[in-house]
Each structure stands twice: as structure tokens, then as C-alpha cells.
A and B are shown apart, each in its own frame.
Chain A
Amino acid sequence: MSKLTLKTEGDTHVIVTRRFAAPPAAVYRAHTDPNLIQKWLLGPEGWTMRVCINEARPGGKIRYEWTNGKGSEFYLTGEYVELEPYSRIVHVERMHLPDPTPDNHVETRFDTDGTGTLMTMRMTLPDAETRGAMLATGMERGMEASYARLEGMI
């Protein structure tokens, strides 16, 4: 059974949860250290992140560039809003395909769960249409900025 849950909430939110065996400090670090991010935030097989800028401070920049080595590439930019080591990150992000998608406002929480961590990522899109478009096309280019499942919706 997968440890991941994805669901929509209301008209504009997408919620992702995932449990990790490591404590919150480690999971937080894996989300804010460029050298670590580059090892896992890759999407489907075959994609690599050739640029990883992650300035983990309020106002700090985020820029991820991915390529599949076969001529396909795209990037994501964002800014940090708030960081509370090691429990909470708030940031804004958008994909460039190459036109920028509307801003996705993301709050990520890392809560202690036994000896591990429960991560809860709450995304807020500007409107239902944007969320719809994100769910339908967001990951097509191999990216992970979008997430979703219709659990309980139908």
C-alpha cells in the first residue's frame, strides 16, 4: 500500500500527505538543501535537475530546471514566504511551460509521527479552473509541482 495520499479540498486546494521514516529535521533538510533536492525531486524516470537554486530564507529564490536529456526541458520558479525549521515551509511556485502558470501557494508541514515524519502539503491555486488545468497537465512534462487525486470526490 502506498504511503502517499492525494486529494482535492474545496474548489482550489490540493492536499498531499506522505510519511517518512526519518525525523522532521531530516525531511525538512531534504526539502531545503539544493544538493539533496537534486537527488529526488525529479519526476518520472529519465529526468534530471540540472539547475537547483534554493535559498531557504524568507524572500529567497527557488529555481529548478529539469531536462530529460532528449531535448525536453522546463523549469519552475518560486519564492519562499516563511520558514519554521523544521516544521513548516510556506512558498509560492509556478511552472514555466514556457509561459508561467498561475501561482501555486504551498504550505508544507513536517509533523513528528512516531519516530518518523508526517508531511502534509497544502496547495492553494487561484481558482478552480487553474487547479483543473494543473491536475490535467501539470505533470505531463515530468514535473512534480502538481499533485492530485480525486479521492472521495466521485
Chain B
Amino acid sequence: MSKALSLDAAFAALGDATRRAILARLAKGEASVMELAEPFEMTQPAISQHLKVLEDAGLVVRRVEGAKRPRRLAKAGIETMDQWLAMLRKALDQNYDRLDQVLAGMEQPKARRGEKR
């Protein structure tokens, strides 16, 4: 259940355009808070707040390098989300594959016994 809870936090963390943009930037490689703040009209504390949400959700990790704390994507967190989404997708796929079978077994409008609706 704890896995589901962290997924909960992860997906909730993604419900914000700034945080998605931060992740998109980090997908290209490690970056400092200053570098991350640059493209946004936001203060560094505001960006730090977003980073905290992403860190708490397990999507971003920080490294200590002298006085700097560069951030990068947390591979494990991202992979967990990917796996989860693949599972959702599979369950949906199964529904629609079944629907394909149902449709194949239905009388089409042009079929012989032109059934109404």
C-alpha cells in the first residue's frame, strides 16, 4: 500500500505545469536550483518549494557538491510510475480487446437481419 501512496504523491506532483517543466529540464541532465529557476518568472524559494514536492514524491533527488545541491531525476521513482502506467494501460487494453470481440460478434447495420439499433 505504501507503494500506492507514493504513486499518489508522484501523480499529484505532476499536476502542476511548473513541476512538469522542471522534470522536463532535469530529463536533459542534472541542474542547480538557479539553473532550474532561470526559465521561470519565479523566485528561487518558489522553485525550491516545487523541488521539495518532487523530492517528497520520489521523483527528484539532490546531490551535495560543496555549497551546491544540484538536482537530478530519481530513476527509481520515474520507473515505478512508468511500470504503473503500463499496468493501467494493459488493463484498459484488455477491456478494449474484449470490446473488439464483442463488436466482431455484433450484427452490423448492413448485415442480413438488419436489426434496429
Contact = CB atoms under 8 A, between A and B. Distances in A.
Interface stretch (B17-25, B34-42, B43-51): B17-25
Contacts of B108: 22-23, 26
Contacts of A3: 96
Nearest to A86: B117
Contacts of A11: 15-17
A6 B88 contact: yes
Nearest to B73: A154
A45 B94 contact: yes
A78 interface: no
A21 B98 CA distance: 13
Given A6-B89, A140-B4, A146-B88, A39 B98 contact: yes
B12 A129 contact: yes
Contacts of A135: 7, 11, 85, 88
Interface string B80-111: 01101101110111111011111110101100
Interface string A129-154: 10111011111101010111110011
Majority secondary structure, A binding face = loop
A107 to B, nearest CB: 17
8 contacts: A22-B103, A30-B106, A39-B102, A40-B95, A40-B102, A127-B15, A136-B4, A154-B78
Contacts of B89: 2, 4, 6, 149
Closest 3 pairs between A and B when the two form their complex, measured CB to CB: A128-B15, A132-B12, A132-B11
Contacts of B102: 30, 36, 39-40
B98 A40 contact: yes
Contacts, number: 130
Contact of B85 (A16, A27, A149): A149
Contacts of B117: 25, 29, 85
A133 B53 CA distance: 15
B106 A133 contact: no
B83 to A, nearest CB: 12
B88 to A, nearest CB: 5
Given A4-B89, A127-B15, 9 more contacts: A20-B100, A23-B109, A26-B106, A36-B106, A41-B95, A128-B15, A139-B88, A149-B89, A153-B14
Contact of A4 (B17, B23, B96): B96
B27 interface: yes
